[in-house]
Amino acid sequence: MTLIETVIYITLFTLVFSAATGFLINILHVAIAVRADQALVANIALALKTMELEVRHADAVYTSTSVFDNDGGQLSLRTPRSAPTDHEAAYVDFYLDNGVVYERRDDGSSPLALTSGDIDVSVFRIERYTSSSAEGVRLIVTAEPANVSTVLTEPRTLRTFVVIRPFTP
C-alpha cells in the first residue's frame, strides 16, 4: 500500500464517519421533536377533554365573567356538579395564565393546572354559540413545546365544539 492510497483511504473513512455521525445526530433531533410533539398533542387533548366534560354537563355559560373571542379567553360555567349542599349550582372557570390553562372551582380550592409546564399555551380562545334551543362553545387551544429548542417543532392547534347538556344526577 502506497502513501497515496493510505491518504485516500483515511480521507474516505473520515468522510463516511462524518456523514454517519451527522445522520445520527439528525435522527436524534427528529426523535426528540416527535416525542415533544406527541406529548404536546396529548397534553392539549387531555385539557380539552376535561373542559368538554364540564361544558357538556353545565347548566349555562356564565357570561358575566367569561371572555369570548380573545386569545387569552376565560370560560365560566354554572354547573350542578360538585355543588355545595346548600347551593343549587357551583361555578367553574377555565382560563389562561402565563402559558398554562387552569381550572378554578368556587369551593375555595387552589386552581388546577390542566396543561403541564412542558408546553407553552399561546392561544386559549372561547367562541360562544347560541340558538333558540341550545347553547355551545368552541374551545381552541394553540401551544408549542416549552423546553425543546429545535426548528422541527411548531405550534399545534386543537379545536373542539361542545353543546351544553345539563347534568342530571
pLDDT in tens, 6-28: 999 999 999 999 999 999 999 99
Evaluate if residue 154 carries a pLDDT over 80: yes
Report d(CA 45, CA 82) in Å as an integer.
23
Rounded CA-CA distance 89/13 in Å is 74
CB 164 within 8 A of CB 136: yes
Encoded amino acid at 93, one letter: D
- 168, part of any domain: no
Per the structure, the complete domain to which residue 145 belongs is given by 3-163
| 105-144 pLDDT per residue, tens | 988 789 999 999 889 999 999 999 998 888 899 999 999 9
- Residue 93 domain flag: yes
Q: Is 153 inside a domain boundary?
A: yes
Which pLDDT band, with edges at 50, 70 and 90, does 45 fall under?
Answer: very high
User: In this predicted model, which residue has the larger pLDDT, 89 or 46?
Assistant: 46
Paired with 77 in beta bridges are 61, 92
pLDDT (0 to 100) of residue 168: 60
Q: Looking at the predicted structure, is the pLDDT value of residue 31 above 60?
A: yes
pLDDT of residue 169 exceeding 60, the answer is no
Q: Does the structure show a pLDDT above 70 at 40?
A: yes
Q: What is the pLDDT of residues 56-73, one digit of tens each?
A: 988 889 999 999 999 999
Give the per-residue pLDDT at 152: 66
What is the predicted pLDDT for the residue at 149? 66
**What HEC string does 37-62 produce?**
HHHHHHHHHHHHHHHHHHHHCCCEEC
Asked whether residue 32 is domain-assigned, the answer is: yes
Q: Tell me if 169 is assigned to some domain.
A: no
* Domain assignment present for 63: yes
Which residues face 79 on adjacent strands? 90
Of 90, 115, 87, 89, residue with least CA distance to 103: 115
Mean pLDDT of 159-167: 86
Residue 144 lies in a domain: yes
Q: Supply the pTM of this predicted model.
A: 0.81
* Count of structural domains within the chain: 1
Q: Are 143 and 119 in contact (CB under 8 A)?
A: yes
Type of residue at 151: V
Task: Rounding to the nearest 10 degrees, give the CA dihedral for residues 165, 166, 168, 169.
Answer: 100
